[in-house]
Amino acid sequence: MDNGGIRMNTPRGRWVLFVTVLGSGMAFLDGTVVNVALPKLGEDLGASMSGLQWTVNAYTLTLAGLILLGGSLGDRFGRRKVFVVGVAWFALASALCGLAPNIETLILARGLQGVGGALLTPGSLAIIQASFVRGDRPRAVGAWSGLGGVAGAIGPLLGGWLVETAGWRWVFLINVPIAVLVIAAGVRHVPESRDEAATGRFDVLGAVLAAVALAGITYGLIEHGAPLALGAAAAGLALGVAFVSLEIRRSRGGPVSPLVPVRVFASREFTAVNVVTLVMYAAMGVVFFLLVVELQVAVGFSPLAAGSSMLPVMLLMLLLSARAGELGKRIGPRLPMTAGILTCAAALVWMSRIGPGASYVVDVLLPVTLFGLGLSAAVAPLTATVLATAEERFAGVASGVNNAVARTGSLLAVAAIPPLVGLTGEAYTSATAFTSGFRTAMLVSAGMLACAALLTFVTIRTNAMMEPEATNPCDPCVPPLNPAGEKHRRV
């Protein structure tokens, strides 16, 4: 221990990293493992393309809508406690998914899974920020990003193997034994931490407004031809405006603590990095949703072979993300993030060649490898910068905001882009129709990544990871929220 913190190279430090990576990795894995099962799942349950979109988005919707509340609950009641509750909830919802008799029940259970994910995901990163000594945090976040990225990337491989050998239901049931291991290790080895200065009642109305706003917008995008779609989207936008207004008003003081304290955005770089996150993860969501389906529907890959196509991403994230975190600490996040995001954009342009008769090496392996290199360079510096530019007492809120932004980007892109490029109805049963939409979607996503890279280069100017005083670089007119420099209490 050093100044009340844990060193990363100690046994306890390794246990903390193991628990947080395995717990959050379970949620990340679920975000990708399901995608490879979609064709079989859709055939078995008689689902349409919109049913497949809802299978993905019901989870992302509740995750994105409630993740801010999850971060606030962790800051208030204890990050380890809320993390463990989230893992248990996630496991129970996963069991319900695995037993679902129809697509409607599955979509409902996926929504419940997202609630568990909203409790555990921000807690994992906030535990790292609160537990490790400051000097070890960039490396720990890099390892968390890399190993978490491995979980997300190994998802299609594991999902393909499970679909072929045990059936698509085991894509969900596999979470139960993982959760048991996480809970047992977390209770024993992870220190408790919380924000001792937190006061006031919870912003339940804010959480409801955020979740319902996202639900309305998502419904409008997916069911764009339905009579209620336009009204749902308009209502969602109106509720989104009401949410922002409510948080601004509650941040001025009162008996109810805001879900998102406005002053957490006092750092211009915190705001900029979250905008980059929104655009970047929107593009990534489209790739992970469509690629493994395209490989099965159009190229003729088996579920296992389609899932195996993401192995280069897994290996590169494992090998390079911690180093990317260290590099970002030395030279600043601007160049690694810009170069990494541009590399991802180039990879998606290359992936747009995939279709019937595609070469595995030239059209799949090489662009996926390039995509993995880009993600390895960008994700760890991005995540570490988000935490470094927020005040330490708001570790849970900052993590929750960034996770909510990432999931919201993916949610809206997966809802909007498939129908915009013609992937509707039974398109996933036709190689020609799906390939046409897939290629357009990859080019659109590449354009989004190019915009994210430009925004990174223009807005990220300082290296907050190297400057303790930059932890909360507020405007001169805004006093710091924690002038006494309180630390998290560990139990």
Which tens digits make up the pLDDT trace of 55-88? 988 998 888 888 878 877 887 888 899 999 999 9
Q: What is the DSSP secondary structure assignment for residue 360, as one 8-state letter? A: I
Residue 132 Rama label (left phi>0; alpha psi -120 to 50; beta): beta
Cα(222)–Cα(433) distance, integer angstroms: 18
Task: Give the burial class of 44: count Cβ atoms within 10 A of its Cβ; 0-12 exposed, 13-18 middle, 19 or more buried.
Answer: middle
Q: What pLDDT band is residue 239 in, cutting at 50, 70 and 90?
A: very high
Say whether pLDDT at 135 is over 60. Answer: yes
Which amino acid, residue 9? N
pLDDT value at residue 144: 80
Say whether pLDDT at 383 is over 60. Answer: yes
* Helices and strands counted in the chain (H then E): 16, 2
Cα(355)–Cα(296) distance, integer angstroms: 10
C-alpha distances in Å from residue 279, one per residue of 259, 304, 346: 23, 30, 16
Q: Which residues, at least 6 apart from 156, have a Cβ–Cβ distance to it below 8 Å?
A: 32, 33, 35, 36, 288, 292, 306, 307, 308, 309, 310
CB 290 within 8 A of CB 441: yes
CB 374 within 8 A of CB 382: no
Which residue spans within 77-158 are E strands per DSSP?
none
Q: What pLDDT band is residue 250 in, cutting at 50, 70 and 90?
A: confident
pLDDT value at residue 480: 32
Closest CA to 280 of 451, 150, 148, 442: 451
Say whether pLDDT at 476 is over 60. Answer: no
How many CA atoms within 13 Å lie on the side-chain side of 425? Answer: 6
Q: HEC profile for 248-275?
A: HHHHCCCCECCCCCHHHHCCHHHHHHHH
Take residue 352 and report the two structure tokens written for it: 């747009």
CB 438 within 8 A of CB 326: no
Cα(379)–Cα(141) distance, integer angstroms: 10
Which tens digits make up the pLDDT trace of 407-442? 889 989 998 999 999 888 888 888 999 999 999 999
Say whether pLDDT at 112 is over 70. Answer: yes
The end-to-end CA distance of the chain, in Å, is 14
> With b meaning 16 or more CB within 10 Å and e meaning fewer, what string describes 142-163?
bbbbbbbbbbbbbbbbbbbbbb
Cα(464)–Cα(479) distance, integer angstroms: 19
Cα(59)–Cα(224) distance, integer angstroms: 20
pLDDT value at residue 149: 64
Query: Mean pLDDT, the chain, as a whole number?
Result: 84
Q: What pLDDT band is residue 309 in, cutting at 50, 70 and 90?
A: confident
Strand partners, 6: 132
- Number of neighbouring beta carbons within 10 Å of residue 3: 8
Cα(60)–Cα(50) distance, integer angstroms: 15
pLDDT value at residue 355: 93
Cα(484)–Cα(67) distance, integer angstroms: 28
Q: What pLDDT band is residue 92 in, cutting at 50, 70 and 90?
A: very high
Q: What is the DSSP secondary structure assignment for residue 198, as one 8-state letter? A: -
Q: What is the DSSP secondary structure assignment for residue 102, as one 8-state letter? A: S
Q: Which residue has the higher pLDDT, 37 or 125?
A: 37
